[in-house]
Chain A
Amino acid sequence: MRLKTSDSLIGVAFITPAATLFLLLVAYPLFQSILISFSAINTMTLKGHYVGLANYLDILQDQEFWRTLVNTLIWTAGSLVLQVLLGVGFALLLHRAFPGRALARSLVLFPYLLSTAVAVLVWRWLFNDLYGILNYGLVHIGLIERPIAWLSRMPEAMISVILVGAWKFFPFVVIALLARLQTIPLQLYEAARIDGASAVARFWDITLPQLSGVLAVVVLLRSIWDFKEFDLVYLMTGGGPGIGTQTLPILVYREAFPQLHLGKGAAIAVVMLLVMLVFMLLYLRQSARGDER
């Protein structure tokens, strides 16, 4: 269909505000970061010069970068697996009818709605080696003899961060799955019961395949978000002990600000972007497939 000129103008007029915001707030900073990543720039003075691929070569030879990348993958995978397990479990529980279900459904959102700073504050209290209730409880029931310094020892610090991350973000998985669960026709389960499927078989043969599309999208989204998560990890441990829980966003921050290496920081951010681009492409493919269905 051919549009009249006036229709096209109206179309352009509608797109302009959003396009302007996108160019100013997304495209321009992205372009700038990529540009900066090819320079040696001091964060304070913003003075520097073009160095080509030097920042990238520097990163690739940097032990700390590789160690941090591994940390990031451990954090992302660990927290993601727990989020999915908790998410599926709670979604199935909250899908069943029981008195107080509406209240329970709202309560389960609580960790997700809580500000990260507040949540971390509370968890640092719970984990505290001197007066934390976690150590008190574990000692009391005799599981450990002495209090554990949860946040200043490895691997306890990483485990703690992963646990808190799982707790903070699993409600997102619950919401997405619960919405899907409610659209699965009950007659599928009835047909399966008549066909002789046990409760476990019905989960594997009907529930899980019906959830798989949403689950794939949730896993991809959460892995992107966990991969670039900064505040929760930084506030919990500051990346420590040493660089034991340092993830890539923390490394970017440290290079760019305390160390004043804006160029190197930008280069690490660009590498992160490339990794996330892989997830993005998978996500786009998955959602395109979802549309086909």
Chain B
Amino acid sequence: MVSVRYQHLHKAFGDGSVALQDFSLEVADGEFLTFLGPSGCGKTTTLRMTAGLETPTSGEIFFGERPVVDLPPGRRNIAMVFQSYALYPHMTVQQNLEYPLRKQGVARDERARRATALAATLQLDALLHRRPKHLSGGQQQRVALGRALIREPEVFLLDEPLSNLDAELRTQMRAELIQLHRRIGRTMIYVTHDQVEAMTMSTRIAVMSKGELQQVGTPLEIYREPRNRFVAAFVGSPAMNFVEGGIELRDGRAVFRAAGLEVALPDARSARLAGLARASGVLAGIRPEHLSLEPGSGEGRVLVVEAMGHEDIVTAETPAGRIVVRSAGTATAAAGDLVPLRVDPEKLHLFDAASGERLAC
């Protein structure tokens, strides 16, 4: 059992492109930490450096107190599940499972015993003598997990392991991964661009963009208090609406104001916002679930209604731009309607329009 600590990690490639800049983070022992970000944000590079498949340009990685940057992958006591699974195609399921043990010099009987036991818990016992190509995607995924589990590593690295599965299987495997993590309690580092995977499985999420760490926090912290515009836009589905405007003080009360939209902020926030009043340069972030089709903040013309059954996703054109609303119920609006819009003032996110940073309130 071990924690993983990244210290001022930096990675530049031969062509001059920078994959990771001054990355520092501590992954606690037994934690399920997810690197979340779009492709090219440096998350996979960071994971590969943790595995030893890439060497950082500078900086250090510690497993517990042990620096590992100079250790080859085979001596880091880690296991990795690849997006493509990377099962050895010419070996049977059993041989695949036993391979890490074989390379550690574990005796044949012991290997077979552990592979059989593990196969039983992963429901692979009937498939032990098949080759990977004769398995379904879900079964291959299980074998890949099994090969990672069998050596009982200190750190598990998972590189988008669910992205090759169909939607239904992915949901099922998410639940299985959560249970697995709870059962073995090892440190797991998970890479994904899928915010649903990150939100549902992680102890904490590290949101990354363009080689830089944007925010680290529990899924709820990331959702409730995104530190900047990037995090706010990346997490949440449908994505957060952004409206540019200003903050003015009216009778000692702070009001966010944009073209055709006004939100009076609650008293507690008003006090803190007083010093930040300005006519423009404020970006308001409003999640679709914090809007309703009621009078209060403004109005808009409905462009599209996507009926989900239990709710409608309503896209409306307003003077301040397009706004997406999650409206509970059925047939809450029709295309062409002029609808009222109300923003939950408690849930309004405010950012500096120029820097994208969250305003202190």
Give chain A's interface residues, CB within 8 Å of chain B: 185, 187-188, 190-198, 201, 205-206, 209-210, 212, 293
Q: Say yes or no: B80 contacts A191, CB within 8 Å.
A: yes
The interface size bin for chain B is 20 to 34
**Given A188-B88, A210-B90, A201-B82 contact (CB < 8 Å):** no
In the complex, 28 of the A-B residue pairs with CB atoms within 8 angstroms, ordered by the A residue number, are: A185-B86, A187-B82, A187-B86, A188-B88, A190-B51, A190-B73, A190-B80, A191-B82, A191-B86, A193-B52, A193-B53, A193-B72, A194-B73, A194-B74, A194-B78, A194-B79, A195-B99, A195-B103, A195-B147, A195-B151, A196-B100, A197-B74, A201-B103, A205-B99, A210-B89, A210-B90, A212-B90, A293-B133
Q: Which residues of chain A are within 8 angstroms of B75 by Cβ–Cβ distance?
A: 196
In whole angstroms, what is the CA distance A184 to B79 when docked?
Answer: 21
Q: Say yes or no: B104 contacts A194, CB within 8 Å.
A: no
A-contact bits for B94-128, CB 8 A (1 contact / 0 none): 00000110011000000000000000000000000
Q: Which residues of chain A are within 8 angstroms of B104 by Cβ–Cβ distance?
A: 196
Judge if B228 is at the interface, Cβ distance under 8 Å: no
Q: Say yes or no: A197 contacts B103, CB within 8 Å.
A: yes
Q: Say yes or no: B88 contacts A194, CB within 8 Å.
A: no
Minimum Cβ distance to chain A for residue B175 (Å): 25
Give chain B's interface residues, CB within 8 Å of chain A: 51-53, 72-75, 78-80, 82, 84, 86, 88-90, 99-100, 103-104, 133, 147, 151
Q: Say yes or no: B53 contacts A190, CB within 8 Å.
A: yes
**Given A193-B53, A195-B103, A201-B103, A188-B74 contact (CB < 8 Å):** no
Q: Which residues of chain B are within 8 angstroms of A190 by Cβ–Cβ distance?
A: 51, 53, 73, 80, 82, 86
In whole angstroms, what is the CA distance A195 to B52 when docked?
Answer: 12
In whole angstroms, what is the CA distance A217 to B51 when docked?
Answer: 37
Contact of B51 among A194, A196, A201 (CB under 8 A): A194
In whole angstroms, what is the CA distance A207 to B86 when docked?
Answer: 14
Q: Which residues of chain B are within 8 angstroms of A195 by Cβ–Cβ distance?
A: 74, 99-100, 103, 147, 151
List the B residue with the shortest CB-CB distance to A197: B103
Minimum Cβ distance to chain B for residue A289 (Å): 13
In whole angstroms, what is the CA distance A192 to B100 when docked?
Answer: 8
**Given A191-B80, A191-B82, A196-B103 contact (CB < 8 Å):** yes
List the B residue with the shortest CB-CB distance to A189: B86
Q: Say yes or no: A188 contacts B86, CB within 8 Å.
A: yes
Q: Which residues of chain A are within 8 angstroms of B133 by Cβ–Cβ distance?
A: 293
Minimum Cβ distance to chain A for residue B105 (Å): 9
List the B residue with the shortest CB-CB distance to A209: B90
Minimum Cβ distance to chain B for residue A181 (Å): 15
In whole angstroms, what is the CA distance A188 to B96 when docked?
Answer: 11
In whole angstroms, what is the CA distance A212 to B72 when docked?
Answer: 28
Minimum Cβ distance to chain B for residue A202 (Å): 10
What 7 new A-B contacts, CB under 8 Å, besides A190-B80, A191-B80, A193-B72? A188-B86, A188-B88, A190-B53, A190-B86, A194-B73, A195-B151, A197-B99
